[in-house]
Amino acid sequence: MPATFSVDRNLFDEVMVPNYSPSAVIPVRGKGSRVWDQQDREYIDFAGGIAVNCLGHCHPALVTALQQQSEKIWHLSNVMTNEPALRLAKKLVDNTFAEKVFFANSGAESNEAAFKLARRWALEVHGEEKSQIIAFKQGFHGRTFFTVTVGGQTSYSDGFGPKPGDIAHAEYNNLDSLKALISDKTCAVVMEPLQGEGGIVSPTDEFVKGVRQLCDENNALLVFDEVQTGVGRLGELYAYMGLDVTPDILTTAKALGGGFPIGAMLTTTEIAKHLKIGTHGSTYGGNPLACAVAEAAFDTVNDAQLLAGVNEKAQQYVAGLNAINAKYQVFSEIRGKGLLIGAVLNDSYQGKAKDFLNAAMSEGLMVLVAGASIIRFAPSLVIPSEDISEGLARFEQAVASIVNQ
């Protein structure tokens, strides 16, 4: 029977837990880098579902994969394996440093698996004293209690009782800060190869190579959280490939499924063997539907021409944002890499990133924030040049509306 009630923003307040505060706009369909709301108003998508929709909305390859798999088999449980999971795992292994894959449903779950594996590896190889995990301030690794505690933002982890222990935080891009904490009791150092939620901060070459060296010197595993940076976002299949540093464990999600929930943890055979039968699991991890869609997304993104196009599109964004800034003087810096770009608000507009987001929405453009003073852009990797131009024109109107208030 059709609903006899109105499906609008007010219904959210009535039936949903209030941990989100969504926009009044409710998109109902999308195609490429454009979406339409309930009133059929069009928006250009520079947000990408927070770096998830790597191929935009309703990409034919993903639609076809989902339709075809939906008529075969949906779910089995991990009492059995399935063809899409095995095909996807093989492609992940063949195209990265990794030799083994564990599938989950999200970035948080992939990180949870990585942290548990690191602890188990350290326990079995070095003993129970080697349990410290070091991450970085302003880092973000998910919302489970373990991952949010490893993440370096206490505003997300405070208020839920005693936290998981033996976790420390160094300063990103500060090697001395890490040196002061790391020891032979450290089992893993966890880092994003570009901090996303923490402000679109790229690592220096000295820093990322220094982290790898310190891990080696202290027999600690290096875990790269590539949930946001992976699957083409920075112009490489995975960001580590452009840093000349190889992690021991890598986590991937978001763009891996192109919008269908899936995550994965990648590692070596030697490390993976410590997750013996029964030590970890996931009801939906390796789900045939998710893996079929992710395989199509991975195949599409893992293309030299597409990846080269990411950096070309990034140049168009940076040039456009700099041109806007030349007129309106609102940004102190445009930073990031590939199609993960941050426009940092200057002193006159500190704390007003959400105002710019709302103004953009009013102009028919979807953007993101990364903290209170950075506007974040994470569009489709295949967004057409004309959509970038039109979106930037709308963004300029939004900027003008705030500057001229």
60, 283 in Cβ contact below 8 A? no
Q: Could you give the CA distance from residue 34 to residue 36 in angstroms, rounded to a whole number?
A: 7
Cα–chain center distance at 16: 25
pTM reported for the whole predicted model: 0.96
| Angle ∠(171,188,117) on CA atoms, nearest 5 | 140
Q: Could you give the CA distance from residue 118 to residue 100 in angstroms, rounded to a whole number?
A: 14
Q: Give the pair of three-digit tokens for residue 245.
A: 């540093």
Sheet of 365-366, strands arranged across = 27-31, 34-37, 42-45, 365-366
Q: Give the pair of three-digit tokens for residue 287.
A: 């789900």
Q: Could you give the CA distance from residue 12 to residue 39 in angstroms, rounded to a whole number?
A: 18
**388 closest CA partner among 305, 298, 323:** 323
343, 377 in Cβ contact below 8 A? yes
Q: For each of the chain's 405 residues, which pLDDT tens digit applies?
A: 566 789 999 999 999 999 999 999 999 999 999 999 999 999 999 999 999 999 999 999 999 999 999 999 999 999 999 999 999 999 999 999 999 999 999 999 999 999 999 999 999 999 999 999 999 999 999 999 999 999 989 999 999 999 999 999 999 999 999 999 999 999 999 999 999 999 999 999 999 999 999 999 999 999 999 999 999 999 999 999 999 999 999 999 999 999 999 999 999 999 999 999 999 999 999 999 999 999 999 999 999 999 999 999 999 999 999 999 999 999 999 999 999 999 999 999 999 999 999 999 999 999 999 999 999 999 999 999 999 999 999 999 999 999 998
Q: Could you give the CA distance from residue 66 to residue 293 in angstroms, rounded to a whole number?
A: 6
Residue type, 289: L
Q: What is the DSSP letter of 194?
A: S
Continuous segment of H or E residues that includes residue 92: helix 83-94
